[in-house]
Amino acid sequence: MGLYVNLQKKVNGFSLDIEWEIGHEPAVLFGFSGAGKSMTLQLIAGLIKPDSGFVRLDDTLYFDSLSKTDLPPQKRLFGYVFQDLALFPHMTVWQNILYGAPLLSGKEKQDRARDLIRSFKLAGLEKRYPSEISGGQKQRVAFARALIRRPKMLLLDEPFSALDRPLRLEMREFLKEVKESFNIPAILVTHDFDEAAAVSDRIIIYEHGKITQTGSPEQVKTAPANTYVSHLVSS
């Protein structure tokens, strides 16, 4: 049980060829920019179509080039938090969160949104627009919007990279709370080793579209597979 990913994709001279597996714990995709981490998330979410491979979570195949399975992103039920958060600028905080649950009835949607607003400390901001709230508040709105329809997995594409350090530490704690209360697999893309180590026991290291090493933060720190990894974990 867990997420099994095997993906190949060539685009504009860049070639991605990866295979890994995680259980129901958070995992981190770690590497320098342009290594293929964000692309992997987009392939898993169905926003880009792989050339070949498969994506399987528990018993469900989401993509499989052999059986020609390809669920559209709308049907994958994965919560995606984008690097720039992608909050809708023309919707209020409340509308942004409700937009995350198109299939729920009005009452259930509003009950869930109210719960999320309370637990994510967003009370009082419901009528504000994204441009009128702080960076940390925007993060929490993006998480609330991604979580309201109870996704089967969370895909987090460097959501904390734009924040300053104290706020990043706060968001790590927040992420732990999310992990405990929702208990779903989460994949975090980052190029900050401290962040990777704080969030997960399992680090998957990307190098030019390939997997160089996987292991716990201690393992990759004490026994890096090559100079790229040792450079990466010490930077």
Is 182 among the residues that bind other proteins (CB under 8 A)?
no
Site string for other proteins, 26-45 (x = CB under 8 A): ----------------x--x
Sheet holding 60-64, edge to edge: 14-22, 3-11, 52-57, 60-64, 69-70
From 67, 131, 181, 235, residue interacting with other proteins (rule: CB under 8 A): 131
The answer to whether the CB of 18 falls within 8 A of the CB of 5 is: yes
Considering only the stretches 14-22, 78-86, 175-183, 221-229, report the one whose residues sit in contact with other proteins under the rule CB under 8 A: 78-86
Residues 91-110 that bind other proteins (CB under 8 A): 99-103
Is 74 among the residues that bind other proteins (CB under 8 A)?
yes
Q: What's the closest the beta carbon of residue 89 comes to other proteins, in angstroms?
A: 4
Is 68 among the residues that bind other proteins (CB under 8 A)?
no
Q: What's the closest the beta carbon of residue 124 comes to other proteins, in angstroms?
A: 21
Is 80 among the residues that bind other proteins (CB under 8 A)?
yes
